[in-house]
Structures are given as structure tokens and as C-alpha cells.
Amino acid sequence: MIKVILWDVDGTLLDFKKSESCSIKNAFRVFSLGECSDDTVKVYSDINQSCWEMLERGELTKEQTLIVRFEKFFDKLGIKNVSPREFCSVYENGIADTTAFIDGAYDTVSSLKGKYKQYIVTNGAYSVQTERLKMSGLDKIFDGVFISDEVGYEKPSPFFFDYVIKHIDNVSLDEILIVGDSLTSDIKGGNNMGIKTCLFSPKPLVYDKNEYKINYVISSLDEIVSVLEKG
Ligand SMILES: [Mg+2]
């Protein structure tokens, strides 16, 4: 029986894409780079995604990831007169100020409060993630928050999950479920640790069944209730 739920944040509870888009567009205005189209946001978004995957594979440090994504983005757009570091700082502040929920997120986690222990497990910058959780009111619902910056390791590292599980009292591995939208960080991390996994995938996703062991797939967050009844 599931007693503990580990929730990913970005793309699972909070709509990171929406925050990302608002914040990139705002940073373009701040640095007088002209209008930033949705297509340009998409270019950034893909670069950002690939940089975070490099971080997950241990090819970049967190500090490098934050800056390198903007260096690559500026290279691609031919922007030469703006510091990636300064742009990053404006962008990160913007992200912290924007809260957009994934449909049903707040109601779902509120309805489970008290019935299950719920924790946040997120990769990301400590100050940004803390601020977003506070702004969204999610911080009051959860029994604890684990941010990779503070833990010292990123998902999917077993060291990250080892730290998390050591800080949760009286629970065995088969009583823990991780819910997240990422195969490479959430599902792989859960598999590394031997806990149950639930992929949140609003759109159907094809994946390698030898590479990832997924116990449940949900396309909307309220489906988690029936997963927990089965679990
Ligand atoms: Mg995610």
C-alpha cells in the first residue's frame, strides 16, 4: 500500500512551459532584444531541455547548465551584445514570479493531504523553486520539500533519492510512489531506487520498456486517486 507520494514539480504540478514563455519574453523586453515569438521560445525550450539532460547525465554542473543554455540560445539567434549570465538572472527572477498550475494540480494534492505523506522532489535552483512553491501555496500542503540544490545531487541520482528516503520516517520502499512527467529524471530515478513509478503524461508517450519500468501512467492528475487505491 502506498503511504508516501513524491511529486515532481515542473510539468507535473506547475506549468513550467507557461512560466518559461512569459519569463523569456519579459527578459527580451528588459534587454531590448525586440519581440520574442513563440517559435523563438520553442528554440530556447529545446536547448534548455537538452542542457538539463546533460546535467542529468553528469556532463554539466548545475551552475554551468544555467548559463550554457543561454550561451547556446544566443549563438543560435546570433545575439552577441547581452551577457548570458545577466539574462539568466532576469529570467530566473521572472520564473519565480509566475505561477501557473497544471490542470487539477492544486485540488488533487489538497484532497490527498492528511491521507498520504506528500513530498516535493525537484531539480532546480533553490531560490527559484522555493519562491514558486510559496507563491503557488503548494508549500503549505506538502510534508516536505527536497530540492536538488540543497540535497547536493540531482534526480535521477540514487544519492538524491537516498537522501530523500532517509529523511522520511517509518516508510519502506514498496510504500513509496513517485509521480512525474520525466522519464529521464523521475521514472529513471524511481527505478534506480526500486520504488513505484507513475508517469504523468497528458499526451501519449512512446518509451523503451526495457529502459524504463513504469507502474502507472496517468494523463490527468485526478487519475492519481484510482492509482493509489490500486497501489
Ligand atoms: Mg518535470
Give the pLDDT of residue 56.
86
Instruction: Name the residues around ion ligand 1, CB cutoff 5 A.
Output: 8, 10-11, 181-182
By DSSP bridging, strand 216-218 and strand 4-7 are unpaired
The amino acid at 42: K
Give me ligand 1 centre to Cα 12, in Å: 6
pLDDT surpassing 90 at residue 108: yes
**Backbone CA torsion sign across 120, 123, 129, 130:** positive
Domain with CATH 1.10.150.240 in the chain: 16-97
Q: Which of 94-108, 136-150, 170-184 has the lowest mean pLDDT?
A: 94-108
Residues 6 or more apart whose CB falls under 8 angstroms from that of 78 comprise none
Give me ligand 1 centre to Cα 99, in Å: 15
Task: Please state which of the four CATH numbers 1.10.150.240, 3.30.365.10, 1.10.3720.10, 3.90.1170.50 is assigned to the domain occupying 16-97.
Answer: 1.10.150.240
Question: 62: pLDDT confidence band, cut at 50, 70 and 90?
Answer: confident
Looking at domain 4-15+100-230, its CATH architecture is 3-Layer(aba) Sandwich (3.40)
Does residue 11 contact residue 102 with C-beta atoms inside 8 Å?
A: yes
- DSSP letter (8 states) at residue 97: H
Q: Is 66 exposed, middle or buried (0-12, 13-18, 19+ CB in 10 A)?
A: buried
Domain with CATH 3.40.50.1000 in the chain: 4-15+100-230
The amino acid at 161: F
**Backbone CA torsion sign across 181, 187, 189, 190:** positive
